[in-house]
Structure 1
Amino acid sequence: MKNLITLVIMLLMNYLAIAQEMNVETKSVSIDNLITFIVDAIENKDEESDDAPEHYIFLIQTPVSDLIAEDKVILKQAFKLISKRLALTDHISIVTYSGFSGIALKKTSAKDLKEIMYALEHLKSNVKELHKDGIELAYTYANEQADEDTLSTVVMIRNPKTMLTRSTATLAAQTVVPVEVSKNNNAVLLTAITLLPQIISVIKD
């Protein structure tokens, strides 16, 4: 058990290092609180806003199969709100992790609601190439799409209903949500080390 806990901590630190190296801000929210999070965390801009362009990479935790209908409804309502709040110069991407990992929606205008809704409705089939680690993929993709004028943010959407039997490494990846990277001083704030007991509990089960 001690070795398993050590492995989990090492994996946690690995994801923190990835985020820090890529200078990408990270936020985390449960799917049930997603709409409230959007209101609080995503600025309501004018369509012709002069603010710096933003690229939100939404990292959605999934089951092995596609999302249940209830989750799709929440996500669709949330992304409609996101589309209204962001400007023409802003973009979003959708990456999945846990049950299946891949890019479900490549960098797309936040105003292209039709494309976004289609990706959410057909989340699994929209992933053309499966990856081993969706979390690392999200940061790699964010880095590839980054430019000096764009603010990049990974928003990890946790879905507690996706209960899976996985290896220790994957269980750790499912629970890793605790990173926030400051663009000013590149300091990593480890805010969810308190989740470690939950990780240990999952391993025990």
Structure 2
Amino acid sequence: MASRGMYVSGTDGTDFSHRQQIAAHYQTSVLNKTRLKYTIFFHYILFFIMLAKLSADILDRLDIFILEIEELLIPKPLLWEYVWCMSLIMSFLALSSIRKNNIATMRKYIYGIITFGYLPILYAVIYYFSDFLTYITLEPDEDIEDKDIQMWQGYPYALLWYIFIVLAVQVHSFSMYFSNNLIQCWRLRVAMKKQ
């Protein structure tokens, strides 16, 4: 506060060393909460991509016929695709845990991502590995039709899945990392409160 060029004592910025500072674990907690929310947002995007892939099968099960979707000739889904979709439910645990700084709920989120995120993805990696390996080892002059590679819309199906898998592994890995950081911050906060 200034008055005709005169500073009131203690308000000229020289008192910064006496001000309270935010503890580092609170800053880390806020940063990791924001980053985890971003990874959950990307998880939602991947979920909607998977849902678009599953839409033909879901509509068939509901006995709804849409010609445009049927003409795409989307391959029948495997069980791992539906199991992976259940990983989206785990994001609600993480968001609840973020609001309440709850360590137990965040652990459930981590276990859920391992179970419904990583394990189905691991199964997909193994399942499509032979087609993927066959495709990437093709010679430039070889014809894809001679090989026993499943194709969709002119693209190797395994390659499309591997693109999805790489993105999903990145999203799950970052969410696990940020969740783990949050648990460490919250443990430190609990330990400091006990002192």
TM-score (norm 2): 0.25
Judging by fraction of residues, say which structure has more strand: 1
Larger radius of gyration: 2
